[in-house]
Chain A
Amino acid sequence: MSESWTIRVREYMERRLPSANLLPDRQPYYVGSWVYVFGVVTIAALVWVVVSGMVLAFFGPQWWHETAIGRFFNSLHFWSVQMFFVFMVLHLWGQYFAAGWRDGRAKTWMAGVLIFLVSIVAAFTGYVSQQNFDSQWIAVNAKDAMNSVGAGSFFNVLNFGQMYGLHVVLIPLAVLFLVALHVVLVRMKGVVKPIGWREAEEA
Chain B
Amino acid sequence: MDSPAGYLHLGIILISYPNLIVIGLMIVVFAIALVAPFHGVGGERREGRR
Q: Choose from B26, B32, B45 the contact partner of A29 (Cβ within 8 Å).
A: B45
Q: Which of B24-50 contact A (CB under 8 A)?
A: 26, 29-30, 32-34, 36, 38, 40-41, 44-45, 47-49
Number of A residues whose C-beta is below 8 Å from B?
18
Number of B residues whose C-beta is below 8 Å from A?
16
Question: Count of A-B contacts with CB under 8 A?
Answer: 43
Majority secondary structure of chain B interface residues (helix, strand, loop or mixed): helix
With contacts A35-B33, A94-B30 known, is A28 near B22, CB below 8 A? no
A90 touches B48 (CB 8 A): no
CA distance A30 to B29 in the complex (A): 19
Q: Which B residue's beta carbon lies closest to that of A38? A: B33
The 10 closest A-B pairs by CB, nearest first: A29-B48, A32-B41, A34-B33, A28-B48, A32-B38, A35-B33, A29-B45, A29-B44, A33-B38, A34-B36
Q: A29-B49, A32-B38, A90-B33 are in contact. List 6 more A-B contacts (CB 8 A).
A: A26-B44, A29-B45, A32-B41, A34-B32, A89-B26, A201-B49
